[in-house]
Structure 1
């Protein structure tokens, strides 16, 4: 946010600077160089002395009056040839010199003016130029005055812009805070700005959007809870009825059919439990954190895993450290990753953990078919499965990985998948150590 207003401030300053140069060059082009006008005003007494005193003398007294001006003035007046004067002046000033005008050399604090255009003052006067030096020209002071003038103008512009920007900045800071809180799960976060604020229309729309999102999420959670809980009752009835039928059935084919129905009911019951677990994770605001020895927790997860045909290798060094976690939820996440590895591993599964002092990395790897790179994010979506043809024995419901990622995110960590050196998939959990 600060970067936005810093860039805006720099843009305003650059615009004012550019405007200053544009004004200067435009005025120079239309009305002449402003610095030369200032210098001409500062040298006006010397110019007046030449034009109104020396030039007003009769022809035979012109040099006499010029010598008197030399005596009473600190300015030095010399006569130089026209050809020499041309070498000192830029090409743009030569025309004015030829016309007999006073031509200023601001940098050298001097001016040039032809003595006579027709040669009437004395012999050769049409080929000579008055060179006045040591004029009381102080461009530095003039530049300071111009700089002060432009600074005052800039401040006059920047003051209201700063006040206007400050109000915007405060409003945007409020919206940024609301967005952070809302994204962190605090669905009641709102801007609630006064209608007089400059960004009130934007804040009002964001609040309306947040209201709508909150209503949709609450409705979704309520629906999920209601449906899941309501399903438990008919599922329990079905289980009881199927158990009675199974005990009374004499036909082996009927018993097999009832057993298949019982499997379907068990699957439905597991799905309801998974949905309730998802709903609970979505509604979690703050976990009951406690300091957990990660090595002990990983061994507990390993021992609680159902037996399988694959070999499970645990690579967990002693003194791995502790993490702030909800043990139940973190165990659930790691158990889901291991169960997923059991489904697809051919022979080997590896559970490893490492610490770099600030973060702990836990990896679950298998030697199964792996996961295509373009599918590695989608597998964490609820109900998404790579192979739609898998049956329930291997495919599951597509909720285990989604639950695992949500649980890890609630602990301030990350869960990603990559290729494993074993040949299959490698799920990497990263948690802050503490």
Structure 2
């Protein structure tokens, strides 16, 4: 938010500066160089003496009046050959000199003026140029005045803008804080603005949107939680009934059918448990964590995996330290990633972890088919499956990765998918360094 208003002020300053230069070039094009106009005003006294005192003298008194001016003026007046004067000037000023105009050299604080264009004042006067030096020209002083005017105009514009935008900045800060809280899971967060604020209509619409989202999420969680709980009772009855039926069945074919139904019931039970876990994570606020030994937690995750033909190895760096978090949720997240890798790996799964200056990074690699780039964000969506036929063969409901990401996000971390060096998928868990402390 601060960058927004800083850029706004920069844009205003640049606009004022650009307007100043545009005004300068426009006036220079239409009315001549403003700096030369300033120099002419500063040298107006010397120009007046030349045009109204020296030029008005009779032909035989011209030099006498020029000498009188030399005696009383601090400006030095000399006569230069026309060729020498023309060599000192550029083409534009040389043409003005040939026309008989007074030509100023601001840098040298001097002026040039042809004595006589037609040689009527005295012999040879048409080849002479009056050169006045040390004129009272101080462009720097005038530029300082212009700069002061520029600063005053800028302040006159920026101060009201700053006062006007201050209320907007505070209102937008309030909206930003509300958005951060809402995005962090505090669905009851609302923007509190006075009706006089300009952004009040926007805040009201955002509050209405937040209210509808909160209501929808609450209804979804309530429905999911209620349905999951209600399903547990009939599932338990089915399990009990199947056990009784299996105990009384003598037909081998009937026993196989009963075993298949028991497997379906166990699958339903697992689904209900996953849904309840999802519901708990969605409704979780801040974590009530404790200090967790990361090395021990990760090794325990590998040790408690179900038996499989794949080789599962832990490659943990020294000095992983501890983490302030929920050990059960972290173990659930890493365990889900490992079990997912077991399902699709051909022969090898590797869990690795390192601690760096910016955080803790844990990776789960496998040598399976991998995940296409276009699907990498979708695999964390609940019930999303890349290949439904493959999922039926490997089991699962499409909730494990979603639960893993939610658990990691609750700890302030991120979970991403990349390509593994083993050829399959790589799941990367990053936790902020502020969560942990070195061992």
Normalization by structure 2: what TM-score?
0.88
Change (3 A) 1:200 1:118: same
Shift of 1:11: 2.3
1:4 positional shift? 3.0
* Distance (whole Å) between structure 1 residues aligned to residue 247 and residue 419 of structure 2: 49
- 1:289, CA displacement in angstroms? 0.4
Match of 1:207 in 2: 207
Q: CA deviation at 1:98?
A: 3.5
Pairs within 5 Å for 1:28-427: 28-315=28-315, 320-356=320-356, 359-390=359-390, 392=392, 394-420=394-420, 424-427=424-427
Q: Is the 8 A contact 1:385 1:395 kept in 2?
A: no
2: CA distance between counterparts of 1:420 and 1:198? 51
Gaps of 5+ in 1: none
Q: Which residue of 1 aligns with 2:14?
A: 14
3-state SS of paired residue (1:323): strand
Alpha-carbon distance in structure 2 between the residues aligned to 1:391 and 1:91: 87
Contact kept? 2:414, 2:429, Cα under 8 Å: yes
Q: Does the 8 A contact of 1:295 with 1:321 survive in 2? A: yes
- Equivalent position SS for 2:389: coil
1:34-78 per-position Cα deviation (integer Å, ceiling 9, x unaligned): 222222222222222223223333332222222222222222222
Structure 1 residue 214 displacement after superposition = 1.7
C-alpha displacement at 1:276, in angstroms?
0.9
- Report how many aligned residue pairs link the two structures: 434
Contact 2:118-2:126 at 8 Å conserved across structures: yes
Specify the SS of the correspondent of 1:291.
strand
Aligned-residue offset at 1:253: 3.0
Contact 1:192/1:207, CA 8 A, preserved across alignment: no
Give the C-alpha shift of residue 302 in structure 1: 4.1
Compared CA separation, residues 314 and 137, structure 1 to 2 (3 A)? closer
Deviations 1:141-178 (A, max 9, x none): 12222221222122222222333343333333333222
Comparing 371-380 with 59-68, which one deviates more in the overlay? 371-380
Instruction: Give the Cα–Cα distance (whole angstroms) in 2 for the partners of residues 63 and 421 of structure 1.
Output: 98
Quote the Cα distance in structure 2 between the aligned partners of 1:45 and 1:27. Answer: 25
Q: CA RMSD for the aligned pairs?
A: 2.8
Equivalent residues of 2:362, 2:430 under 8 A apart: yes
Q: Retained in 2: the 8 A contact 1:192–1:204?
A: no
Name the CA shift for 1:345/1:26 in 2 (closer, same or farther; >3 Å): closer
Q: 1:318 to 1:48 in 2, by over 3 A?
A: closer
Q: Per-residue deviation at 1:277?
A: 0.6
Q: Is the 8 A contact 2:302 2:313 kept in 1?
A: no
Higher deviation after alignment, 196-205 or 288-297: 196-205
- 1:290-312 deviation per Cα after TM superposition (whole angstroms, max 9, x unaligned): 01223333344344433444454
- C-alpha separation in 2, matches of 1:44 and 1:320: 83
Secondary structure of the residue aligned to 2:111 is strand
